[in-house]
Amino acid sequence: IDKQEKMMIFLLLLQAMSSPVFSAEWDAQVVMDLEALVTSCVVIPCTFTYPGGKIASSKLRGIWFLRNERNDTVFHEDKSEIAPNFRDRTKLMGRLGEGNCTLEMIEVKDHDRGPLCFQADIPGTGQFTFLKNCALLKMLYDPPKPTLAHQDTASQGEPYTITCSITHTCPSNMPTLTWSRSTGRIIEDHKNNGYGRWEMQSILTFIPEETDDHSKITCTAKFNGGGSSSADHTLLVQRKKNHRHIIVPTLVGIVIAVVFGAACILMMKKYKKRIAELQSSGRGR
- 126 or 33, which is more confident? 33
Phi, psi of 244 (to 5 degrees): -65, -35
Q: What is the pLDDT of residue 135?
A: 95
Domain 24-140: CATH superfamily, name plus number = Immunoglobulins (2.60.40.10)
Examine domains 24-140 and 147-238 and report if their fold is the same: yes
Confidence of residue 273 (pLDDT cuts 50, 70, 90): low
In this structure, which topology does domain 147-238 adopt according to CATH?
Immunoglobulin-like (2.60.40)
Out of 58-72, 210-224, 233-247, least confident range: 233-247
Confidence of residue 239 (pLDDT cuts 50, 70, 90): confident
229-258 CB burial, b ≥16 within 10 A, e <16? bbbeeebebeeeeeeeeeeeeeeeeeeeee
Domains of the chain: which residue ranges?
24-140, 147-238
What would the mean pLDDT of 3-11 be, rounded to a whole number?
Answer: 46
Q: What is the pLDDT of residue 6?
A: 45
Phi, psi of 20 (to 5 degrees): -55, -30
- 203 or 248, which is more confident? 203
Burial of residue 72, with CB atoms counted within 10 A of its CB: 0-12 exposed, 13-18 middle, 19 or more buried: middle
pLDDT(16) > 90:
no
Q: What is the pLDDT of residue 59?
A: 83
What CA–CA distance (Å, rounded) separates 42 from 89?
Answer: 11
pLDDT(248) > 80:
no
Q: What is the pLDDT of residue 15?
A: 40
Q: What is the pLDDT of residue 4?
A: 54
Confidence of residue 240 (pLDDT cuts 50, 70, 90): confident
Give rounded-to-5 percent helix, strand, coil for the chain. Answer: 25, 40, 35
pTM value? 0.71
Report the amino acid identity of residue 118.
F
pLDDT(223) > 90:
yes
What CA–CA distance (Å, rounded) separates 252 from 257?
Answer: 9
